[in-house]
Amino acid sequence: MHYVIPAWDLPALAVAGSDARFPVRRIFCVGRNYVEHQKEMGGDGREQPFFFTKSAHDIVPGGGEIRYPLKTENYHWETELVAVLGSGGLRITVEEANDHVWGYAVGLDMTRRDLQQWGKDHGRPWSFGKDFDQAAPIGPVTPAARIGHPAKGRIWLEVNGETRQDADIAMMIWSIPEQIAFLSQYYTLAAGDIIMTGTPAGVGKAKPGDRLVAGIDGLGTLEAKILPPL
């Protein structure tokens, strides 16, 4: 293939225990998928979750140093289990959904909360709040072929050594199979699509110099060190 401008590399995640990488196509994210997080965001804990998207180019494979983003004064962490799809389809059932999941990783749905809130207040899109440079640090993918399909296990975040998020993925309102079934009613899902499955309570404001360490049982940890803004 010839392109009229130089093409870029496919965004791709590391794979635990392998030199091969997992190419990322689209990023779907679930909002308000844990009751206690709904409450801390001002909800009553009885809302239906929903989806938004990020660009595949927002990923920061393996984390590491990330830059405090532009035009925000309220930059938040959200620790999330990430499910990556090895195949897809339309109108996938809950029962067959796990057959499409290739593996799992720890991710951070980094958020410019002030810009997201502006969007909410003005009936405008969330894109500037959620989809920006380096908005999705994601650790190595552990294959489902190795660990199965985790439905419970601790999910946590330490900021500068202090625990800020501490919950269990069993507390998700919509399970991963339910998320896949729901999404596939609206999109033809495909290999390479990934889902950030929502954050538990304990979101908060990151600042330059902070060191974030996120973890999920069985999936290892993901570190992000926040650099000063440009």
Residues in contact with Mn ion by CB under 5 A are 78, 109, 199
Shortest spacing between CB 78 and Mn ion, in angstroms: 4
- The Cα 224–Cα 230 span in angstroms is 17
Of 58 and 109, nearer to Mn ion (C-beta) is: 109
**Phi (first) and psi of residue 196, to 5 degrees:** -90, 120
Of 143 and 200, nearer to Mn ion (C-beta) is: 200
| Closest-approach residue to Mn ion (CB) | 109
Of 14 and 201, nearer to Mn ion (C-beta) is: 201
Q: Give Cβ neighbours of residue 197 (< 8 Å, ≥ 6 apart).
A: 30, 33, 80, 81, 82, 83, 169, 172, 176, 179
Of 15 and 222, nearer to Mn ion (C-beta) is: 222
Shortest spacing between CB 35 and Mn ion, in angstroms: 15
Shortest spacing between CB 21 and Mn ion, in angstroms: 24
Residue 74's alpha-carbon distances to 16, 69, 97, 111, 112, in angstroms, are: 33, 10, 36, 8, 6
Shortest spacing between CB 196 and Mn ion, in angstroms: 6
